[in-house]
Structure formats: C-alpha cells, structure tokens
Amino acid sequence: MDSALASDQAAYLPATVRVAAKILVVGHFAVGKTTYVSSLSEIRPLRTEETMTEAGALTDDLRGTEDKTTTTVAMDFGRLTLSESLVLYLFGTPGQQRFTRLWRDMTLGALGALVLADTRRLEQSFPVMAVLEEHGLPYAVAVNHFEGAPRFAEPEVREALDLLPETPLVTCDARDRTSSTHALIALVQYLQARQTRSSQEIV
C-alpha cells in the first residue's frame, strides 16, 4: 500500500532542510516493517520484495502470517520530514536471521532504531536487539498488534524482552499512519533525551 502522501511534488526536499537522520525499522520476519515504512513515508517507498520460495518456507516462521507471499530481501526505504530543517530517512531491514550481516551494515550512520515486535513470537526479537546492542545503537520497541495475537500488560512484555527501564515500549498498528507516528515520536524523544544527557555530561 503506497503512502497517501506520496506524490511527485513531495519527492523533493524543501531547501530549508539542514539535518538528515537515519532511522532503522527492524524486527523479525513478517513483523510488519514494510507496512510500517509505507504508512509513514511521504514519498513512494522503495521496496525490495521478492516472492517467497519453498526453500525459504522451510526456514521462515510463518505463524500468524500463512498468507504472506513476499518478503524483503534487501531493505525498505522511506522519508519523513519532521520540520522545515529536519528530515528522517527510514530504512526497513529484512527480517530473516540469514540477513544478519546486512543488519550490521545498515547500523552504520544510524541515529537509532525502532524494533517492531509480535507478541506471538517475542523470542524472535532477541537476535535483532543483540545486533543493535553490539553496535551501541539506541532503540525503542513497538509491539505491532495483529488480529488474534495475545495482549499483555507492559510490565510483562518488558520482562519477556528483558528491556532496560529507560528503553521506550509502545504499541502500534503498522497499517495506521497516526499509530505509527506515535511510535516514531517515542523513539525520537528518547534519542533527544539521550543526546541532552550526553551534552550535559561533556560540559
């Protein structure tokens, strides 16, 4: 689904933009990363989806997504202008662990990451978060609600994912622009707070 904001006119950045920040949208296979980037991007998102093969079906966990027929094989890319001077570039990563090397490459130059999670497969978020922590990349977690997926209280999800107290945890519907925006705001506010603390410590 292409963004409702995507248009030829929106393809060009305003001349007033001075700062561009790279944000990763990460998570395990079939957690909604492509949908999330598409719901937020103000330009027609770049997708690298290919038809799933029988070989992939042997290794990819299709629980709850049995109708899924395509998968991201490189990345998704979108753009969101936050103000006259600031723009975010959104990079969605492929979800399968066989793309771990690509995950590591994509952390280079990133300001932070939003980890999408599914309550049916929370344990599959650990490899993704491990890569982010290995590279010192701060992140927030957004539980993407799927129809029929179990709902848990925030403390339960925090404990299951072993999150630090300061790591933001929110819920979202990756199909909904407003909901996706709120999740992104939680991440940006967290990154801003970290930057402020770092500046104060240097002074």
Separation of alpha carbons 99 and 113, rounded Å: 17
The predicted pLDDT at position 75 comes to 82
**Least confident window among 2-16, 135-149, 166-180:** 2-16
Separation of alpha carbons 152 and 177, rounded Å: 23
Identify which has the larger pLDDT, 199 or 58: 199
What digits encode the pLDDT tens for the residues 8-25?
446 678 888 988 999 999
Which amino acid belongs to residue 107?
T
* pLDDT greater than 60 at residue 63: no
Which helix (H) or strand (E) segment is 133 a member of?
helix 126-134
Contact status, residue 12 vs residue 72, Cβ threshold 8 Å: no
Beta bridge partners of 139: 113
Identify which has the larger pLDDT, 202 or 60: 202
- Alpha carbon 142 to its chain centroid, in Å, reads 8
Which amino acid belongs to residue 94?
P
pTM here is 0.80
Q: Which residues contact 17 (CB under 8 A, 6 or more apart)?
A: 81, 84, 85, 86, 87
Residue 107: helix, strand or coil by DSSP? coil
The predicted pLDDT at position 53 comes to 47
Q: Which of the listed CATH numbers 3.30.70.20, 3.30.479.10, 3.60.15.10, 3.40.50.300 matches domain 9-202? A: 3.40.50.300
When the pLDDT of each residue in the chain is averaged and rounded to a whole number, the result is 83
- Strand segments, DSSP code E, in the chain are 19-26, 49-51, 70-72, 76-81, 86-92, 110-117, 139-144, 169-172
**Least confident window among 88-92, 96-100, 170-174, 184-188:** 96-100
Q: Which residues contact 36 (CB under 8 A, 6 or more apart)?
A: 25, 92, 114, 116, 144, 172, 174, 180
